[in-house]
Amino acid sequence: MRHERQMELMNRFVALRDTKTATMADKVRTQPTSAYTSPELHEQELAKIFRGRFLFAGLAGDAAMPGDYFCLDLAGLPVVVVRGEDGLLRAMVNMCTHRGARIFPDDHGHLEGRGIACPFHSWSFDMYGRLLGQPLAREGFKECDKGLLGMRALNVVERHGLVFVEPLATGGTGAGQDPDTLLGGADQDLADLNLGNYRLADSRTRTLPLNWKLVIDTFLESYHIFSLHRESIGPYYFSTPNIFESFDSTLLFAGVRSDIVTELDKPEAERNLLPYVTLQYFLYPNALIVHQIDHIETWQVFPGAGPDESIVTTNIYGLGEITDKARTYLTKNLDLLVGVTDTEDFPQGIRTQRAIEAGASDSFVFGRNEPGLIHFHEWIDHTLTTP
Ligand code: FES
Ligand SMILES: [Fe+2]
């Protein structure tokens, strides 16, 4: 990140700290708890938020070289992203057009030779999803047009090392999103992070018994750090103020470490912000790109089978090729990170989910000091009410 931008953000933090305030939303929001429990809303979210809009799928390094691929599940839709021989990414539904088996078997891999065979009856496909062969079928599919039995293609966009896929249901139409506006004004910040140079070191996926928005909510305010995390990270971060900026639907949210005060003694030209912050970009609707001093973490949160289930994937990436030593270091970092979320944040959210399902309360209140929460839920309202 350019020095000028770092100083802009640092000075904003200092001004808030000096005046003992924080970035404030215009007004408090009353949040209906049915947003986390309603089966009807869950169906609407699947249809309008998780189908037909571009979703963050991974970093470009997940399929860095021609023939590399990665697979993911976009709220139930199995997807594979492959880098073609021309260096461009393709996204396809990872399902065989014969009888629906998953074709690309692994989360990450590399295609060698002529292509890949479906495990069910060994139809084979090339890296672009074209059907190559149907062994032992003889006359079985004679009247079918082979050209129409290729894997279904999805729109994919690669920008500043970020990969987005538009999961479209069959026959569905997209929201008409212009891929150029996906990141809003966060384009420059994200370009500066050189995300294309990072490589995956380790990953964790878990299914949790709470609504996907309750998982996101915990990342969109730092107000809870001094309290919920008092035994872990609490002493090392400011709970308030933090650095907050909204760019259309994208949010920048930086948690500031307490030891930043040592940096403030230096003249401005010698100061750096990045070693003292966890720089977090929330990519609406369900992903976070987190820059820590020497690595990147990504979070993807999807709704599960119902409103009370979510699927959370956390990835950790290092700069350049990952040596054994780097992997050991990064895995340790990932364990520390998920140690905090999975033993402090998520159990808190799961208890809240149980309580609201039991009818404990009709609403929550989001304070003006929690602008990220207000912003996120206003965007959900906007998406659900836009035809
Ligand atoms: S389902 Fe793939 S070959 Fe039959
Ligand atoms: Fe937390």
Q: What pLDDT is stored for residue 112 in this prediction?
A: 81
Question: What dihedral do alpha carbons 213, 217, 218, 220 form, nearest 10°?
Answer: 140
Both 110 and 241 in one domain: the answer is no
**Domain final residue, candidates 111, 139, 174:** 174
Question: Does residue 87 sit in the same domain as residue 218?
Answer: no
pLDDT category of residue 162 using cuts at 50, 70 and 90:
very high
Preceding omega of 285 cis (within 30 degrees of 0): yes
Residue nearest to atom 1 of ligand 1 (CA): 99
Reported as a pLDDT band with limits 50, 70 and 90, residue 184 is confident
Statement to judge: residues 223 and 329 lie in one domain: yes
Residue 154 structure tokens: 């999805």
Q: Are residues 121 and 260 in the same domain?
A: no
Domain boundary among 174, 209, 244: 174
Q: Let me know whether 338 and 189 are in one domain.
A: yes
My answer on whether 325 and 374 are in the same domain is yes
| CATH number where 83 lies | 2.102.10.10
155 and 118 inside one domain: yes
Residues 97 and 199 grouped into a single domain: no
pLDDT at 138: 85
Lowest mean pLDDT among 1-10, 33-42, 156-165, 172-181: 172-181
117: CA distance to ligand 1 center in Å?
Answer: 9
- How confident is the model at residue 152, as a pLDDT? 96
The ligand 1 atom nearest the CA atom of 118: 2
Note whether 156 and 193 are same-domain residues. Answer: no
Q: Is the CB of 121 under 6 A from ligand 1?
A: yes
Encode pLDDT of 25-76 as tens digits. Answer: 999 999 999 999 999 999 999 999 999 899 999 999 999 999 999 999 999 9
Is the beta carbon of 119 within 6 A of some atom in ligand 1? Answer: no
Residue 116 Cβ inside 6 Å of ligand 1? The answer reads: no
Number of structural domains, the chain? 2
Distance CA 324, CA 343 (A): 28
In DSSP notation, 313-344 reads: EEEEEEESS--HHHHHHHHHHHHHHHHHIIII
Q: Are residues 367 and 218 in the same domain?
A: yes
**What integer best gives the mean pLDDT of the chain?**
95
Q: What is the DSSP string of 52-70?
A: SS-EEEEEGGGG-STTEEE
Pick the residue whose CA is nearest to atom 4 on ligand 1: 121
Q: Residue 212 is part of a domain; what is its CATH number? A: 3.90.380.10
Q: Among residues 318, 345, 327, which one has the least CA distance to residue 233?
A: 345
Residue 177 has a pLDDT of 85
Six-digit token string for 72: 């993911």
List Cβ<8 Å contacts ≥24 apart for 228-236: 228/344, 228/345, 228/348, 229/340, 229/344, 232/339, 232/340, 232/344, 233/340
| β pairing state of 287-292 and 277-283 | antiparallel
Q: Please determine, for residue 158, whether its predicted confidence score (pLDDT) is greater than 90.
A: yes
Q: Which ligand is nearest to the CA of 220?
A: 2
Question: What pLDDT, on a 0 to 100 scale, did the predictor assign at position 114?
Answer: 76
The tens digit of pLDDT for each residue in 222-238 reads 999 999 999 999 999 99
What is the pLDDT averaged over residues 93-100? 98
Mean pLDDT of 118-135: 96
What is the C-alpha to C-alpha distance for residues 109 and 82, in angstroms, rounded to an integer? 9
Residue 113 scores a pLDDT above 80: no
At 245 the three-state DSSP class reads strand
pLDDT score at 180: 84
Share of the chain above pLDDT 70, in %: 100
- Closest among 325, 259, 250, 269 to 294, alpha carbons compared: 325
Q: Which domain, by its residues, includes 156? A: 54-174
Claim to verify: residue 380 and residue 254 sit in the same structural domain: yes
**Domain endpoint, select from 174, 197, 229:** 174
d(CA 222, CA 369): 10
Exposed / middle / buried, residue 263 (Cβ in 10 Å: 0-12, 13-18, 19+):
middle
Note whether 241 and 352 are same-domain residues: yes
Q: Does the structure show a pLDDT above 90 at 171? A: no
